[in-house]
């Protein structure tokens, strides 16, 4: 529910920011449409936690598949609404974003990544299986195992209450479903990598990141992933990613 004047301070609204930025974050904090459309994503991401004992999911396979279907066959967040909110965010909190205020930039990043991450999670391979299944089968990096990766991911999308852990996101490559530059060409040079990268390229062409991707706490690893993919798969592979993105 929206905060009232007598409520405890909201950790997502720093006391040191401008009144204009504070007013916008208060508005975003209580935006029911964003809260509603992210619910299926939260539900799906909650099943992706790696088991503490292996590289398998902690949840059973049926739960994972049900959550993916629930997400990918439901309506996404309205594209124009998210882009409008990001534009308003940038115009109302320009100084805070430019100064890389951790809390404000974290909120911008969480909102920014909503659309492409959903598209990445819902990407499928050549057999119409979910790409997240392919990546999890023997390809989940050891660093994500037992680290409660899901909690980090799902927390990042509860925009009104919890900020993303950007350091964990970047090191585990969570926005790119754990794909990392160190993976073999067998994993990187796949239809799934094309689909995951193209989800971000398509979004970034429609809605450029306010400060440039290199300054994004969550997406700054995209450049190195892109470079490694080009080196291992060839320039033609990256051209096909761009073509798939439209």
- Residue 14 in any domain: the answer is no
- Residue 37 in any domain: the answer is yes
3-state DSSP: the chain helix, strand, coil percent, rounded to 5? Answer: 60, 0, 35
> What DSSP string runs through 4-37?
-TTSPPPTTS-TTS-HHHHHHHHHHHT-HHHHHH
Q: What is the pTM of this model?
A: 0.80
- Residue 13 in any domain: the answer is no
- Residue 63 in any domain: the answer is yes
Q: Which of 122, 48, 34 is nearest to 86 (CA)?
A: 34
Is residue 166 classed as helix, strand or coil in its secondary structure?
Answer: helix
Report how many domains make up the chain: 1
- Residue 3 in any domain: the answer is no
What angle, rounded to 10 degrees, do the helices at 102-121 and 32-45 form? 60
87 or 175: which leads in pLDDT: 87
- Residue 10 in any domain: the answer is no
The helix/strand count (H/E) of the chain reads as 13, 0
Q: Which of 129, 246, 110, 147 is nearest to 190 (CA)?
A: 129
Query: In Å, how far from its chain's centre is CA 199?
Result: 11
Residue 151 belongs to domain spanning: 19-245
> What DSSP string runs through 138-164?
HHS-GGGTTTTHHHHHHHHT-TTT---
- Residue 173 in any domain: the answer is yes
Kindly report, residue by residue over 189-228, the tens digit of the pLDDT: 989 899 999 999 999 999 999 988 988 888 988 999 999 9
Kindly report, residue by residue over 40-79, the tens digit of the pLDDT: 887 777 676 555 455 555 556 787 788 888 889 988 889 9
- Residue 38 in any domain: the answer is yes
Asked whether 185 and 193 are in contact (CB, 8 A), the reply is no
């Amino acid at each position: 529910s929206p905060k009232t004047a007598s409520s405890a301070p909201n950790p997502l609204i720093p006391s040191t920011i401008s009144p204009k930025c504070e007013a916008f974050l208060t508005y975003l904090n209580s935006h029911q449409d964003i809260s509603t459309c992210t619910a299926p994503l939260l539900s799906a991401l909650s099943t992706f936690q790696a088991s503490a004992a292996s590289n398998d999911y902690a949840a059973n396979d049926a739960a994972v598949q049900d959550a993916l279907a629930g997400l990918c066959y439901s309506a996404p967040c309205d594209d124009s609404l998210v882009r409008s909110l990001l534009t308003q965010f940038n115009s109302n909190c320009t100084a805070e974003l430019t100064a890389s205020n951790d809390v404000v930039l974290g909120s911008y990043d969480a909102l920014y990544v909503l659309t492409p991450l959903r598209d990445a999670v819902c990407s499928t391979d050549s057999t119409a299986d979910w790409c997240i299944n392919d990546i999890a089968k023997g390809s989940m990096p050891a660093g994500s195992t037992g680290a409660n990766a899901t909690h980090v991911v799902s927390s990042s999308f509860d925009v009104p209450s919890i900020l993303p852990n950007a350091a964990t996101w970047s090191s585990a490559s969570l926005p790119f479903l754990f794909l990392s530059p160190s993976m073999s060409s067998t994993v990187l040079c796949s239809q799934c990598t094309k689909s995951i990268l193209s989800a971000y390229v398509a979004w970034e062409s429609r809605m450029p990141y306010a400060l440039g991707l290199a300054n994004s706490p969550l997406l700054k690893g995209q450049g190195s992933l892109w470079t490694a993919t080009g080196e291992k798969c060839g320039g033609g592979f990256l051209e096909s990613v761009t073509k798939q993105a439209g």
